[in-house]
Amino acid sequence: MKFDIVTLFPKMFDSPFGESMIKRAVDKKIIEIKTHDMRQWAWNSYGAVDDKPYGGGIGMLIRVDVVDKALKEIKNKNSHVILTSARGKRFTHRDAERLGKYENVIIICGHYEGYDQRISDLVDEEISIGDYILTGGEIPAMVMIDSIVRLLPGVLGKDDSSKDESHSSEGYIEYPQYTRPEIYEGKKVPEVLLSGNPILIKEWQKQQLKPVKPKVNIPS
pLDDT confidence of residue 211: 76
pLDDT confidence of residue 218: 43
pLDDT confidence of residue 219: 42
CATH number of 172-211: 1.10.1270.20
pLDDT confidence of residue 171: 59
Pair 6, 38: CB distance under 8 Å: yes
pLDDT confidence of residue 7: 97
Dihedral over alpha carbons 164, 168, 172, 177 (to 10 degrees): 30
Q: What is the mean pLDDT of each run of 10 residues along the chain (220 residues)?
A: 97 95 96 98 94 90 97 97 94 97 97 89 97 93 98 80 53 84 96 96 92 51
Pair 168, 209: CB distance under 8 Å: no
Q: How far apart are CA 25 and CA 157, in angstroms?
A: 11
Find the distance separating the first CA and the last CA of the chain, reported in whole Å.
43
pLDDT confidence of residue 133: 87
CA distances from 7 to 67, 172, 181, 187 (A): 10, 34, 46, 48
CATH number of 2-149: 3.40.1280.10
> Which phi and psi angles does 8 have, rounded to 5°?
-85, -15
Which residues are within 8 A (CB) of 50 and not within 5 positions of it... i.e. 6 or more apart? 60, 61, 62, 63, 111, 112
- Give the pTM: 0.85
Domain residue ranges in the chain: 2-149, 172-211
pLDDT confidence of residue 180: 94
Dihedral over alpha carbons 124, 128, 134, 135 (to 10 degrees): 0
pLDDT confidence of residue 159: 53
